[in-house]
Amino acid sequence: MLDTLVVGAGLGGLACARDLQAAGERVRVLDKSRGVSGRASTRRLPLQGGPEARLDHGARFFTVRHERTRDLAARGVQAGWLGEWARGFARWDGGTLQEAHPDGHPRYVPLDGMSALGRHLAGGLDVQTAVTVTRLERQDGAWQVSDATGPLARARRVVLNLPVPQLGPLLAGVGQDAPGPVEYAPAWAVGAVLKADLRADWPALELRGHPALEWIAREHTKRRPGHPPALMLHASADWSAANLERPPEDIVPELLDAASGVLGETLDVLEAFAHRWRYATLRRRVPAPGHWDAELGLGICGDGFTPDDHGPRVEAALLSGWWVAAQATGRAP
């Protein structure tokens, strides 16, 4: 029997599992996706006759404000898998383009894509992907976790790292309520590989007051030399909510046309895709760093919690995962 089973291989779950394993526990992580990192996701696009493109269609970058995450970033930069991307972005405000004004606060990105952060955290962990947990049961002082085919594993404790709306059905089976209230905004993202780069010198553009877009990034500025020119577009929460059920093939040309209008130039696209995030940006979070029930051996972590006052982001997910591990082991995070 395992000591702890972590359901969800997002950054919070991986951070928690890593600390638990470092404390000597037998830990396993399960996730329904084919890879790790959750919303810190990178889409890989093979290109005929050229290098592979990697576009961050979820989390755009991460920042560090706490000693432990500063240390993580410093070690990543030193090891060569992480880089500083920018210290501020240009802004489009109601049709006017404003140059970037550096704020001194570094934004970090893994050179091979945001999902590399999750792969770094997952190193040395027992991670099983393509597994969808459908049921939790409390039996004889332990947790049994099952998928549609039957039991998967037993553990003394379970930690859930899932969007709060997905917790309800699992927790209802053991008579527990999901933490809350929590409110998410959806997001459509469109990635495109271009034949030629834009006539621009900014790494990314924040949009204010646009009817559809809130973000345009020149993704190749994050990557290693030789990466093909590429754009990542993120739609606003309101536009995404209004267009949530439309097919991806309709979203791609509409957002590319919107970007072309903002940029004032035609986009010559080689490859493009759209991805819908139902639970993208948190508008309302649980006012706690995480959830821990020592009697049940039940933990919940993720960026839906409030481990500090700096807003929902990658660092918040890490802090929440470390906090739950600390409660479980009695060690400082």
Complete domains list, the chain, with CATH: 1-37+114-181+285-333 (3.50.50.60), 42-113+183-284 (3.90.660.10)
**What is the pTM assigned to this prediction?**
0.95
Q: Is 33 helix (H, G, I), strand (E, B) or coil?
A: coil
Spatial distance between the Cα atoms of 39 and 35, rounded to a whole number of angstroms: 11
- Judged against a pLDDT cut of 90, whether residue 180 lies above it is answered with no
- Judged against a pLDDT cut of 80, whether residue 167 lies above it is answered with yes
| Average pLDDT estimate for 44-63 | 92
Look up tokens 């404790």; give the residue: 157
| Average pLDDT estimate for 298-309 | 95
Spatial distance between the Cα atoms of 234 and 24, rounded to a whole number of angstroms: 41
Q: Give the number of other CB atoms < 10 A from CB of residue 63.
A: 15
| Average pLDDT estimate for 138-152 | 94
Quote the percentage of the chain above a pLDDT of 90.
89
Residue pair 27/46 in contact (Cβ under 8 Å)? The answer is: no
Spatial distance between the Cα atoms of 280 and 283, rounded to a whole number of angstroms: 10
| Average pLDDT estimate for 297-305 | 96
Backbone angles phi, psi at 136, to 5 degrees: -115, 140
Backbone angles phi, psi at 121, to 5 degrees: -65, -30
Q: pLDDT tens digits, residue range 197-228? A: 999 999 999 999 999 999 999 999 999 999 99
- Determine the pLDDT at residue 51: 83
Whether a cis peptide bond, with omega within 30° of 0, leads into 181 is yes
| Average pLDDT estimate for 291-309 | 95
Spatial distance between the Cα atoms of 173 and 294, rounded to a whole number of angstroms: 19
